[in-house]
């Protein structure tokens, strides 16, 4: 099978490319990535000599390039997106251009080239914010209530994917996941930011009171879910991907402090981010019941593996760390 993975030089994308080539030795994978700041060829450097791997440095907003990229392709897995909330607040228009316009252009290319299957990867943030004192979780039928430029742009892309299915019959599936963590994550996000700062003897910034809760999943568990949905998910269906692992930012940082032998004096409290959602939580019942998916990595196991990866791959992240205040989660 010929597979295109957009955003394949990014965090989730590069992990998915490695996962796919390992788990599907009969497939070939083409990565489409424009190599913005968070996309790194270095994350795929070990694959450069593989005859089953091809890299196209192209933007999904380039219609001519996308038409050529998806020609003769069996499956497109669409991850390409601008995704950092702080950057979206500071400058929202690139998020609209990539996440909304880029998705529409990619969908049109897939429609005209009769791509048999299209899987779209989205986020829990499209559903808005939940209160801390409720057991409520988002489901596939929850209304969309995005509260920031990033989540609004991803909500727009989700709606476009469904529209191309309903209007043109494009064979699509969608998935929304919580916060991913693991290798190759750009060190602006909470967990790699905390690890890299602690490894260098610095402090970890935490927004507000640190009680904001996120639904954490190890990236390779997410990759397994994408694989399963792309192959076996019902056409037109959405699946929520969750390890059912809700943790506050303060709890996450506390676990990292203990793993790295540091105390609470290594926390730096910073003013809260504009529009900072309080809690996200997903109900993965459909994914579990229809497709039998289960996560394979506990939170502590995943954190330990992530700390080990960053500790042994300083050459990957060292050029990327900068004195940028704040942590995104």
pLDDT digit string, tens, across residues 27-43:
999 999 999 888 999 99
Known catalytic residue at 19: no
Q: How far, in Å, are 103, 224, 232 from residue 292 at the CA level?
A: 29, 11, 11
Known catalytic residue at 125: yes
Mean pLDDT for 279-289 is 97
What is the per-residue pLDDT across 126-158, written as a single tens digit (0 to 9) for each? 999 999 989 999 999 999 999 999 999 999 999
What's the pLDDT score for residue 283?
Answer: 98
Mean pLDDT for 238-260 is 97
Known catalytic residue at 86: no
What's the pLDDT score for residue 325?
Answer: 44
**Radius of gyration of the chain from its Cα atoms, rounded to whole angstroms:** 19
Rounded Cα distance, 47 and 63, in Å: 27
User: In a 3-state reduction of DSSP, which class is residue 30?
Assistant: strand
94 has a pLDDT exceeding 90: no
The catalytic residue among 33, 82, 124, 246 is: 124
Domains of the chain as residue ranges with CATH: 2-180+217-241 (3.40.50.720), 185-214+246-280+298-320 (3.90.25.10)
For the beta carbon of residue 143, count every other beta carbon within 10 angstroms. Answer: 8
In 3D space, the residue among 37, 30, 38 whose CA is nearest the CA of residue 184 turns out to be 38
What secondary structure does DSSP assign to 212-241, as a single string? -EEEEEEHHHHHHHHHHHHHHSPTT-EEEE
User: In a 3-state reduction of DSSP, which class is residue 208?
Assistant: coil
In 3D space, the residue among 87, 3, 92, 6 whose CA is nearest the CA of residue 53 turns out to be 3
Q: How far, in Å, are 41, 200, 212, 321 from residue 318 at the CA level?
A: 15, 10, 28, 6
End-to-end CA distance of the chain: 35
Task: Please provide residue 287's backbone torsions phi and psi, each rounded to the nearest 5 degrees.
Answer: -65, -40
The catalytic residue among 33, 82, 127, 150 is: 150
Q: pLDDT tier at 323 (50, 70, 90 boundaries)? A: low
Entry pTM: 0.94
The catalytic residue among 33, 82, 125, 227 is: 125
User: In a 3-state reduction of DSSP, which class is residue 267?
Assistant: strand
Contact 81, 36 (CB under 8 A): no
């Amino acid at each position: 099978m010929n597979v295109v993975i957009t955003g394949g030089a990014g965090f989730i994308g590069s992990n998915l490319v490695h996962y796919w080539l390992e788990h599907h030795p009969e497939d070939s994978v083409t990565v489409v990535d424009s190599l913005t700041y968070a996309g790194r060829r270095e994350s795929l450097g070990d694959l450069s000599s593989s005859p089953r791997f091809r890299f196209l440095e192209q933007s999904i907003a380039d219609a001519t390039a996308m038409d050529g990229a998806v020609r003769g392709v069996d499956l497109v897995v669409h991850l390409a997106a601008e995704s950092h909330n702080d950057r979206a607040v500071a400058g929202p228009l690139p998020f609209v251009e990539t996440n909304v316009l880029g998705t529409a252009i990619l969908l049109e290319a897939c429609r005209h080239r009769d791509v048999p299957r299209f899987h779209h990867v989205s986020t829990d943030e499209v559903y808005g914010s939940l209160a801390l004192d409720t057991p409520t979780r988002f489901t596939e039928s929850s209304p969309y209530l995005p509260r920031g430029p990033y989540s609004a742009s991803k909500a727009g892309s989700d709606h476009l994917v469904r529209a191309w299915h309903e209007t043109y019959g494009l064979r699509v599936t969608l998935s929304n996941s919580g916060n991913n963590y693991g290798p190759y994550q750009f060190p602006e996000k909470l967990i790699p930011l905390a690890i890299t700062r602690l490894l260098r003897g610095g402090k970890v910034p935490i927004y507000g009171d640190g009680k904001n809760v996120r639904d954490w999943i190890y990236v390779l568990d997410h990759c397994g879910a994408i694989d399963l949905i792309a192959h076996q998910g019902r056409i037109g269906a959405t699946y929520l991907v969750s390890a059912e692992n809700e943790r506050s930012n303060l709890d996450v940082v506390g676990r990292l402090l203990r793993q790295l032998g540091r105390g609470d004096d290594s926390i730096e409290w910073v003013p809260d981010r504009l529009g900072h959602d309080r809690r996200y939580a997903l109900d993965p019942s459909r994914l579990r019941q229809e497709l039998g998916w289960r996560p394979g990595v506990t939170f502590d196991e995943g954190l330990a593996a992530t700390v080990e990866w960053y500790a042994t791959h300083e050459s990957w992240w060292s050029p990327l760390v900068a004195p940028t205040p704040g942590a995104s989660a």
